[in-house]
Chain A
Amino acid sequence: MNRYARTAPGQTPEIVPVERPYSFFGLIETRLLGCQPLRRILSQARIHGARTMAIEKLDDPEDLREENEDLRKRNPDLASSAAWRLSFFTRRFATRRGLPDVAEKGFIGYLIFKEDTAPSFGRIGRVYESVIRPSRHDNNFVRGEQAWLCRVDGKPFRVPGYLYAQQNGLTNVCAHVALRTAAARFHPAGDMSYREMNQLLGIDHVSVKTGEENGLTTQQMVEVLEAAGARCFQADYSKPAANPPPFQKYIYGSIESGYPAIVIFGTTDPMGSLHAVPVFGHTFNEDTWVPSADLSYFRIGAGTIYIPSESWLSMFVAHDDNWGSNYCIPRHYLRPNQHPAPGQPAPNPEETVSQCVAHVISTMPKEVQLNPVRAEIIGADYLFTILPQLPTNDNPWAKRLSYYAKNNLLVLRPYLLTSTEYTAHLARVRDWKGNPVRAQLVNALKAKLVKERLWMIELSVPELFSANLRKVGEVLVRAETLPSMDRDLGSFVLARLPSYFALLAGGTPGNPQYQFILAGTESHVELIGCEDTALERVKERHMS
């Protein structure tokens, strides 16, 4: 447990009151080498209401010793290395005797600042790693974050978040640090060291080096993530392609289910180098105009057009190793590269590549074979086919859905879950009049639903989705097998629509037969992950 700088013993902590008039600017200028990402991290500490900071000089934790050994292989003139742990608290205390009284909720997070010196590269100060609590805004959605254990003067604290790290540009580059953030979600040890990544890729820091002109390839990045335990789905926008899906769909499909994605984009660097950032959350804007605009429709074909739920996403939450942690990147700021039409001259590379998305690596657990984009499309196929034939049962929602379907206004949201999570969700939801899904059916599903990961494609309409966080149904599609291109019905598990479950009862792939079973719910229910939120909104708004 004490392998890590975040948990290793340090020297006697220096307790620093950081309320006004204390200046973090002064700290950076006088003690922390003007390190840029530190400015952002300390700003987050300020935003979270930091009152006290503990500074501990670290002795020689194993992870830093390992990095120094590798640095010395690459740069044998490494002269010195030192590291400090800075921890932030909302509670006011003046001496280390105050630490035992600090509750975990008063812990904002920590950073490890590391300083390396060698004649060959000078003096490098950087944030070796940091975890700061996510934003306090309730429209930020970060899922799948770990609870990172940190020790301050021996006292354990846990902080939720995705680990941020800054490259040293020598034994690790931006690709490594983006990988570290993402790989931690899957790695059995809960963190993946740079040495493990480099050994896997044959980077020995002598004959094969990183840094300067040398980075990692996208294929090497995938190799590292898969070694950590992830399944990767790649989407490449660096070359012209016919009708590629929006890159946002690959990112959203991962982060909404609690798995990070890595976005690779061009920079203004004259060398044309590519930069990687890990993305792990998003903001949700219930008032956004975007879903009303043509550009938000996803067109599978002339007869299959819908609004993806990511249309209400306004920002991606991401780290950028050059600038710091937990940034919001406007969704429409990043865009795919615009390739010139045949016969047209290529524009100036610096103009076209800058901030253009070249490649996306989305991650999922290794068992998952079907990616979120395909899952959503296959789900649309079943839902849009069954919907017009749904027994009406005098249910007004059947008519309403017919209107929304005709006007291409249905909303789809893919979400990866286990069968246990699905039945737990069904047991919690209530329709608008408060009716639950019949308990006998939920129990039947608990007993007989296939025990594997599933894609749940939730179906809603714009107003219901954005204002109430509710849906009219869903379809379950198998995630651990890859269905054939032609419809063989092999991935269909079940669908639930207003009033009914729809189960496959036979027929042929061309003419499937469904059996409709009354579900108990009649209208709309909460989206998964929003059960409590939706309930609160109902209470607050007193809507009938």
Chain B
Amino acid sequence: MGKVTMSFKQGRKALLVKMSAKSDKPAIKKVIPFRNDDVPNYLRELDRFETESKNACLIVR
């Protein structure tokens, strides 16, 4: 029988449960929204740059 593996998200949840159980004080929960769209915007630009970089074909001697 094959080994049953957890998805990443299930593993992350299991880590949260295990670490919460080891906490000696009540954990604090907070909802923290992202502050701005700097990163998604930059990643889109970066994606274009890196895609074009892969297509570059320079000759090295």
Binding site for B on A (CB under 8 A): 173-175, 178, 213-219, 221, 233-236, 238-239, 241-245, 264, 273-276, 300-304, 358-359, 371, 373-374, 377-378, 380-381, 384-386, 388-389, 391, 438, 440-441, 443-445, 447-450, 478, 481, 485-487, 490, 493-494, 500-501, 503-505, 507, 510-518
Cβ of A494 and Cβ of B15 under 8 Å apart? yes
Cβ of A516 and Cβ of B27 under 8 Å apart? yes
Cβ of A238 and Cβ of B56 under 8 Å apart? yes
Set of chain B residues within 8 Å of A517, measured between Cβ atoms? 19-20, 23, 27
Q: B39 touches which one: A217, A301, A513, A515 (CB < 8 A)?
A: A301
Alpha-carbon separation in the docked complex, A236 to B49 (Å): 8
Alpha-carbon separation in the docked complex, A377 to B31 (Å): 21
Alpha-carbon separation in the docked complex, A374 to B12 (Å): 22
Q: Give the nearest-CB partner of A219 in chain B.
A: B57
Alpha-carbon separation in the docked complex, A386 to B60 (Å): 45
In the A-B complex, the 8 residue pairs with the closest CB atoms: A301-B38, A215-B61, A236-B53, A236-B56, A381-B39, A448-B15, A304-B38, A175-B60
Cβ of A234 and Cβ of B35 under 8 Å apart? no
Set of chain A residues within 8 Å of B47, measured between Cβ atoms? 485
Q: Give the nearest-CB partner of A167 in chain B.
A: B61
Alpha-carbon separation in the docked complex, A303 to B27 (Å): 30
Q: Give the nearest-CB partner of A176 in chain B.
A: B60
Cβ of A245 and Cβ of B46 under 8 Å apart? yes
Cβ of A490 and Cβ of B34 under 8 Å apart? no
Write 29 A-B pairs (CB below 8 A) sorted by A numbering.
A173-B60, A215-B61, A216-B59, A216-B60, A217-B59, A217-B60, A234-B53, A234-B56, A236-B56, A241-B52, A244-B49, A300-B38, A300-B39, A302-B36, A304-B36, A304-B42, A374-B43, A377-B39, A377-B43, A391-B30, A441-B22, A485-B40, A490-B9, A503-B16, A503-B19, A505-B29, A510-B34, A518-B23, A518-B24
Asked if B1 is an interface residue, CB under 8 A from chain A, the answer is no
Q: Give the nearest-CB partner of B6 in chain A.
A: A450
Alpha-carbon separation in the docked complex, A503 to B15 (Å): 9
Cβ of A444 and Cβ of B38 under 8 Å apart? no
Cβ of B8 and Cβ of A235 under 8 Å apart? no
Cβ of A274 and Cβ of B60 under 8 Å apart? yes
Given contact pairs A175-B60, A217-B60, A236-B53, a sample of 13 additional A-B residue pairs in the complex whose CB atoms are under 8 Å apart: A173-B60, A215-B59, A217-B58, A234-B53, A235-B53, A236-B52, A243-B45, A264-B58, A301-B37, A303-B38, A377-B46, A444-B22, A515-B27
Cβ of A303 and Cβ of B58 under 8 Å apart? no
Say how far B42's CB is from chain A's closest CB, in angstroms. 5
Say how far A379's CB is from chain B's closest CB, in angstroms. 10
Q: Give the nearest-CB partner of B58 in chain A.
A: A218
Cβ of A485 and Cβ of B43 under 8 Å apart? yes
Cβ of B60 and Cβ of A218 under 8 Å apart? yes
Q: B18 touches which one: A303, A391, A447 (CB < 8 A)?
A: A447
B20, B45, B49: most-surrounded residue (chain A CB, <10 A): B49
Set of chain B residues within 8 Å of A378, measured between Cβ atoms? 39, 43
Cβ of A507 and Cβ of B18 under 8 Å apart? no
Q: A359 touches which one: B16, B19, B32, B58 (CB < 8 A)?
A: B58
Known A217-B57, A359-B58, A449-B15: A245·B34 in contact at CB below 8 Å: no
Alpha-carbon separation in the docked complex, A306 to B14 (Å): 33
Alpha-carbon separation in the docked complex, A290 to B2 (Å): 55
Cβ of B15 and Cβ of A389 under 8 Å apart? no
Q: A274 touches which one: B29, B46, B52, B59 (CB < 8 A)?
A: B59
Say how far A38's CB is from chain B's closest CB, in angstroms. 22
A173, A242, A301, A391: most-surrounded residue (chain B CB, <10 A): A301
Set of chain B residues within 8 Å of A445, measured between Cβ atoms? 15, 19
Set of chain A residues within 8 Å of B20, measured between Cβ atoms? 515, 517
Asked if B3 is an interface residue, CB under 8 A from chain A, the answer is no
Cβ of B39 and Cβ of A359 under 8 Å apart? no
Alpha-carbon separation in the docked complex, A6 to B12 (Å): 48
Cβ of A493 and Cβ of B41 under 8 Å apart? no
Set of chain B residues within 8 Å of A221, measured between Cβ atoms? 60
Say how far A411's CB is from chain B's closest CB, in angstroms. 18
Q: A373 touches which one: B22, B27, B44, B46 (CB < 8 A)?
A: B46
Say how far A318's CB is from chain B's closest CB, in angstroms. 15
Alpha-carbon separation in the docked complex, A216 to B35 (Å): 46
Set of chain A residues within 8 Å of B4, measured between Cβ atoms? none
Set of chain A residues within 8 Å of B53, measured between Cβ atoms? 234-236, 359
Say how far A12's CB is from chain B's closest CB, in angstroms. 40
Cβ of B29 and Cβ of A358 under 8 Å apart? no
Q: A513 touches which one: B8, B25, B29 (CB < 8 A)?
A: B29
Alpha-carbon separation in the docked complex, A329 to B35 (Å): 39
Known A264-B60, A504-B12: A444·B40 in contact at CB below 8 Å: no
Set of chain B residues within 8 Å of A245, measured between Cβ atoms? 46, 49
Known A218-B60, A490-B8: A448·B14 in contact at CB below 8 Å: yes
Alpha-carbon separation in the docked complex, A493 to B46 (Å): 23
